[in-house]
Structure 1
Amino acid sequence: MKFTTDKEEKYCILRLEEDKLDATISPQLKAEFVTLHTSGYKNIILDLSRVRYADSSGLSSILTGDRLCKDAGGVFILSSLNDHVLKLIRISQLDTVLNLIPTTEEAVDAVFMYEIENELRNEE
């Protein structure tokens, strides 16, 4: 699996450098989510700008990342989805569960907003 990671203090951006998110990539992506989780990253942005096709295995790996972030009290965001992948997520009705944000820059802003809201909730 080809990918890049941009690790910051409050979040990590994982950019898939693949055309397909399917059964051949899914196990490796899940393993990378687990690695990031155990390294202390609770906020993950998955940039899917290069992905043109996804299947149910790919959605399963995305749900794994979402669950790991939520369990850690963080947020998991999908950014830069193309029309096919977005359509699959909507057909699967996962658009009500997952955080979908148009661009990676907006996703970074959303992470900071989530962190601020979390801090305010904890102060109450």
Structure 2
Amino acid sequence: MRYSIDRAEKYTVLTPEEEKLDSLKAPMLKSELVTLFQSGTENLILDMQHVKYVDSSGLSAILVAKRLADETNGELVIASLSEHVEKLLKISKLDSVLKIVADKEAAAEVIFLNEIEKENGAE
């Protein structure tokens, strides 16, 4: 599976560079997600700009990312969904569980706001 990873101070952006996130690609994505969170990632932006199709294996990989982010008290934010993938998330009711935003910039804002809330809650 082709993908890119960009690290910022408060978050990591993982961008799958595939049109399909299916049973052939999802195991590799899950493996990369586990590696990212084991290496210290807390907040992850999953930039889906290239992904046009997701099957149940792909949804499972996204839910693994959500669980890993929750375990680190971090955030998973999904950005740049295609219309088809967005409809699938709504049909499967995952839009109520996942944070979905229009683009990477909006995702970064969600993460920064969450970080501010965490810092204020610790005081």
TM-score, length of structure 2 as denominator length = 0.98
Shift in Å at residue 6 of structure 1? 0.3
Q: Which residue of 1 aligns with 2:11?
A: 11
Shift in Å at residue 109 of structure 1? 1.2
Q: Which residue of 1 aligns with 2:104?
A: 104
Q: Which residue of 2 aligns with 1:59?
A: 59
Structure 2 residue matching 1:59: 3-state secondary structure? helix
Structure 2 unmatched ranges of 5 or more: none
Give the aligned residue type for 1:44: L
Q: Deviations over 1:50-98 (max 9, x none)?
A: 0000011000000000000011000001000010000000000001100
Structure 2 residue matching 1:110: 3-state secondary structure? helix
Shift in Å at residue 25 of structure 1? 0.7
Alignment partners' CA distance in 1, 2:92 and 2:122: 34
Alignment partners' CA distance in 1, 2:41 and 2:8: 9
Task: Give the percent of matched residue pairs that are identical in Structure 1 and Structure 2.
Answer: 46
Alignment partners' CA distance in 1, 2:105 and 2:54: 23
Mapping 1:33-112, distance limit 5 Å: 33-112=33-112
Structure 2 residue matching 1:14: 3-state secondary structure? strand
Shift in Å at residue 9 of structure 1? 2.0
Alignment partners' CA distance in 2, 1:8 and 1:107: 12
Query: What do you get for the CA RMSD once the two structures are aligned?
Result: 0.6
Q: Which residue of 1 aligns with 2:115?
A: 115
Structure 1 residue matching 2:119: 3-state secondary structure? helix
Q: Which residue of 1 aligns with 2:25?
A: 25
* Deviant stretches of 4+, over 6 Å: none
Give the aligned residue type for 1:46: L
Alignment partners' CA distance in 2, 1:116 and 1:42: 14
